[in-house]
Amino acid sequence: MRSRSALKALVQDLLADAATRAWPDLDIPHPPHVERTRDAAHGDFASNIAMQLTKAARRNPREIAQAIVDAMGDDARIDRVEIAGPGFLNFFLAPGAFRATIDQAIDAGAAYGRSDTGAGEKVLVEFVSANPTGPLHVGHGRGAAVGDTLARLYEAAGWDVTREFYYNDAGNQIEMLARSVSARCNGLTPDDADWPEGGYRGDYLADLAAAYLRGDTVTADDREVTGAADPDDKAAIREFAVAYLRREQDADLRAFGVVFDNYALESALYAEGRVEATVEALIAAGHTYENDGALWLATTDYGDDKDRVMRKAEGGYTYFVPDVAYHRAKWERGFTRAINEQGADHHGTIARVRAGLQALDIGIPEGWPDYILHQMVTVMRGGEEVKLSKRAGSYVTLRDLIDEVGRDATRYFLVARKPDSQQTFDIDLARSQSEDNPVYYIQYAHARIHAVFRQLDEQGMAWDREAADLSQLTSEYEQRVITLISRFPEVVAGAAADSSVQAIPHYLRDMADAFHSYYNAQKFLDADPGLRNARLSLIATARQVIANGLELLGVSAPERM
RNA sequence: GCGCCCGUAGCUCAGCUGGAUAGAGCACCGGCCUUCGAAGCCGGGUGUCGUAGGUUCGAAUCCUACCGGGCGCACCA
């Protein structure tokens, strides 16, 4: 199922029908490959289907193309189809087909660009998943921005999305956290000789320790914890510290516009017996063995580089066992599709988690779950790398960025590059309020359209959609805006299909560019009602598309700036 | 050493899963404000797509090797 408003889908359907009629015995790809053209001389859409069929049909591509053209019925939305070059089929759409997208977009409003591809299927997007040992850093910010935008894209494509955050609240890192807090409670600082080896050094622990000693009560993830005020009660400190830092992280995420549906705790996997049950299942499935006093899983049977220890010689489980138990639970919760957005520095864990799931032998597909990995972010200010924050000490926090450049610019920049690439975050650029800064450039286009409507109102007029004569929208500026509007559903569907968040910022940049050019070239508030209302319909649609696109990024669309 | 990611204009990056002459922005130069917001617009040129092979009608895109950069390679998480 594709969005009805996507012109590309129309061309694909007509083409598939014609090809099937022309070559009933051949296996016609469905949907056939159709793309927007770069050159207007090649029409609006082009397909290489004739070239693809040469082998099977055993004819030359132009001959195949001709047969397809002959089999194609008349459609008012298609002006003509030409055969070009080695055998491309070039589709020239009727102007009315493009104009119709304006009406469709106005009718659809905030829903324009959405589709039902996902058919309501469940998908779990796990992202951020930071451990509660300190404030979120820039890398978590990239994960939050990318993960949340992915979730929004899947929702727009018709999936039933659950956003989940997983954290370890029981392991060695938390033990180290508790020791660091305990040391702070006892008046030590990281520079003292007695400071725990490898302890967390950030200033935020001083605040945490003070809150604990005061007996503050913190609420996080449906839990309420009151500080016991005993500097040596490790269990009480651990519980308080986790709740305190979770609360801080959530405050940062909320400030960033990211809200999770669910939190998964490692301790809960133990408490519910899922870890033990998973170990037993793996043993029962026959993929484990004992060696050097440890219990091993033969992950190499499933593509891992080496086998992995499950239970250490000293007794405890390695972290990857609860990880497998967690993903098994995801599967059993009915998520046949699961996306894990995480930092590329953890890519080494992918093979063993998947191997563990395969070894369970419960029908989980080999490539499940999907992973989207993001590379590191380097923060620059004044041409120099920024490495420290006051609170965290050793790294730049997400909060630092939000405070300094704002939520909108931070979110935009963190999804504007494909996650695979390392990113340089230029604070000066993100803060600048000029055309250099794509966020402001796009938001300004949106605000500018609102300004036009305010002007309309001041002149005692109103937008009358029924009076619009869209056939008067003939300038190259108008054509460009209309074409971009018609592309939006394809862009959203494409970005959702291959999880390419960066496609949305790029599209919005183009859209803003087309609008600003149009604005400067032609006056919208024309005396002729047919033309004036047509132009108002067009820019109202552009405004809607920009707002819808920014919404996918979690970036605001201001009416005034 | 092994594995994953990246290498496209001076800079930052796109490039629609193999298509037709490789695209934007920035930077640089020159123009445009009694007119819907100049946070804007218009004009001016730039490429051994890291290198070398291969696959085919056709490669920035797929395969192999190499070069350069990043990240991983625990009975840590």
The nucleotide whose C1' lies nearest the CA of A291 is B75
Q: Which DSSP helix (H) or strand (E) runs through A399?
A: helix A398-405
Q: Right CATH number for A7-93 from 3.40.50.2300, 3.40.309.10, 3.30.1360.70, 3.10.450.50?
A: 3.30.1360.70
Q: CA-CA distances (angstroms) from residue A359 to A288, A292, A346?
A: 9, 22, 21
Cα separation, A203 vs A39, in Å, equals 58
**Is the Cβ–Cβ distance between A98 and A483 less than 8 Å?**
yes
Sheet holding A384-386, edge to edge: A384-386, A377-381, A423-426
pLDDT, residue A488, reads 95
Q: State the average pLDDT for chain A.
A: 92
Six-digit token string for A382:
């004044």
Judged by average pLDDT, the poorest of A122-126, A357-361, A431-435 is A431-435
Whether the bond between A29 and the residue before it is cis, its omega within 30 degrees of 0, is no
Determine the distance between A420 (CA) and B74 (C1') in angstroms: 26
Question: Which DSSP string do the residues of A166-198 spell out, in sequence order?
Answer: EE--SSHHHHHHHHHHHHHHTT--TTSTTSPTT
**Is the Cβ–Cβ distance between A354 and A366 less than 8 Å?**
yes
* Fold (CATH) for A435-553: Isoleucyl-tRNA Synthetase; Domain 1 (1.10.730)
Determine the distance between A20 (CA) and B73 (C1') in angstroms: 52
**Is the Cβ–Cβ distance between A502 and A559 less than 8 Å?**
no
Nucleic strand B contact set for A 484-503 (CB, < 7 Å): 494, 498, 500, 502-503
For B76, nearest residue by CA–C1' is A172
Judged by average pLDDT, the poorest of A48-52, A139-143, A215-219, A446-450 is A48-52
**Is the Cβ–Cβ distance between A273 and A322 less than 8 Å?**
no
The nucleotide whose C1' lies nearest the CA of A312 is B75
pLDDT, residue A1, reads 33
- pLDDT above 90 as % of chain A: 76
Whether the bond between A558 and the residue before it is cis, its omega within 30 degrees of 0, is no
pLDDT classification of A434: cutoffs 50, 70, 90: low
Please give the ipTM for the structure prediction.
0.94
Q: Which DSSP helix (H) or strand (E) runs through A290?
A: strand A288-291
**Is the Cβ–Cβ distance between A555 and A412 less than 8 Å?**
yes
Residues of chain A with CATH 3.30.1360.70: 7-93
Bridging pattern class, strands A78-84 and A88-93: antiparallel
- With a cut of 70, say whether residue A186 has pLDDT above it: yes
What is the CB neighbour count within 10 angstroms for residue A394?
12
Arithmetic mean of pLDDT, A192-198: 89
What is the CB neighbour count within 10 angstroms for residue A341?
27
CA neighbor of A374 nearest in space, from A501, A265, A555, A492: A501
What is the CB neighbour count within 10 angstroms for residue A179?
19
pLDDT digits (tens, 9 = 90+) for A82-113: 998 888 999 999 989 999 999 999 999 999 99
The nucleotide whose C1' lies nearest the CA of A443 is B39
Nucleic strand B contact set for A 381-420 (CB, < 7 Å): 416-418, 420
pLDDT classification of A337: cutoffs 50, 70, 90: very high
Six-digit token string for A221:
């993830």
Strand B at less than 7 A from CB of A348: yes
CA atoms within 13 A on the CB side of A523: 6
Determine the distance between A432 (CA) and B25 (C1') in angstroms: 15
Determine the distance between A300 (CA) and B19 (C1') in angstroms: 41
The nucleotide whose C1' lies nearest the CA of A449 is B36
Nucleic strand B contact set for A 126-145 (CB, < 7 Å): 131
**H-type helices in A432-528, by residue range?**
438-458, 476-497, 503-521
For A328: left if phi > 0, alpha if psi spans -120 to 50, otherwise beta; the answer is: alpha
Nucleic strand B contact set for A 23-42 (CB, < 7 Å): 33, 35-39, 41-42
Q: CA-CA distances (angstroms) from residue A18 to A22, A28, A551?
A: 6, 10, 38
Nucleic strand B contact set for A 421-440 (CB, < 7 Å): 421-424, 433-436, 438, 440
The nucleotide whose C1' lies nearest the CA of A421 is B6
- pLDDT above 70 as % of chain A: 99
What is the CB neighbour count within 10 angstroms for residue A477?
18
pLDDT, residue A435, reads 62
Determine the distance between A443 (CA) and B61 (C1') in angstroms: 33
Residues A189-211: b if buried by 16+ CB within 10 A, e if exposed: ebeeeebeeebbbbebbeebbeb
CA neighbor of A351 nearest in space, from A334, A366, A361: A366
For A222: left if phi > 0, alpha if psi spans -120 to 50, otherwise beta; the answer is: left
pLDDT, residue A60, reads 84
Report, in ranges, which bases of strand B sit under 7 Å from a protein C-beta: 2-7, 12-27, 35-42, 57-58, 69-77
Residues of chain A with CATH 1.10.730.10: 435-553
For residue A356, count CB atoms less than 10 angstroms from its CB and return exposed for 0-12, middle for 13-18, buried for 19 or more: buried
Q: Which DSSP helix (H) or strand (E) runs through A78?
A: strand A78-84
- With a cut of 90, say whether residue A254 has pLDDT above it: yes
Nucleic strand B contact set for A 202-231 (CB, < 7 Å): none
For residue A20, count CB atoms less than 10 angstroms from its CB and return exposed for 0-12, middle for 13-18, buried for 19 or more: middle
Arithmetic mean of pLDDT, A142-167: 97
Each as own residue / partner, the long-range contacts of residues A290-298 (CB below 8 Å, 24 or more positions apart, any chain) are: A297/A355, A297/A356, A297/A359, A298/A359
Cα separation, A186 vs A516, in Å, equals 61
Determine the distance between A341 (CA) and B50 (C1') in angstroms: 29
Arithmetic mean of pLDDT, A305-320: 91
The nucleotide whose C1' lies nearest the CA of A48 is B19
Which residue type occupies A332?
Answer: E
